[in-house]
Amino acid sequence: MKSKTKKKETKPYKGEVKKLSKKIEEIEKEKQGYLAHAQRCKADFLNYKREEGERIKELIDFEKGGWALELLSILDYFKRARDGILEKDKGSPVLEGFLQIQRYFEDFLKNQGVEGLETKKGMKFDPNFDEVIEVEENQEKEEGIILEIIQKGYKFNNKLIRPAKVKVSGKNKPEINN
């Protein structure tokens, strides 16, 4: 008789155990949903943080590129001054100091990511890096060959900040008779 009594006593709890088991399953599913959501939020935040860091770096580089472009005009003045040095003055200590300042300034710009373009006389004009300032009629050379570099071009962190200004060869256009 004892065994019958135990069966009767456990039966009322069986329904409660099923309810509690179902509730535990629901809570477990809900917990997994919250965990997945938290993981997505964390991943989204980390992606946002990385993208924001890249955006800030781009803004800083853009600003530095503007500064570099302004500083290039100083380098142009150095070049003009150096080109105007008379042959008799070439051994002067003052001149050597001037040239040392120019080299220091060029090294400073290079360390900041500013590089000169490799535009040379005799090369074919490249519209991606060169800006034509003048076309000189020249029957001996192919059209679009660089004859003179008027102003050197530069890039900053591999982005063009100033195209080279060049003079190129062109062909004589035939006259139209009316």
* 130 CB neighbour count, 10 Å cutoff: 21
Lowest mean pLDDT across 28-32, 86-90, 122-126, 166-170: 86-90
Q: Tokens for 122?
A: 């005799």
Per-residue pLDDT reduced to its tens digit, 102-145: 999 999 999 999 999 999 998 999 999 999 999 988 777 888 89
Q: How distant, in Å, are the alpha carbons of 86, 104, 126, 132, 160 from that of 171? A: 36, 42, 18, 15, 29
Does position 10 have pLDDT exceeding 60, yes or no? no
79-to-102, 114, 164, 166 alpha-carbon distances in Å: 8, 16, 15, 16
Q: Count CA within 13 A, CB hemisphere, residue 88.
A: 0
Cα 26 to chain center, whole Å? 50
Q: What pLDDT is recorded for position 139?
A: 76
123: which DSSP letter?
Answer: S
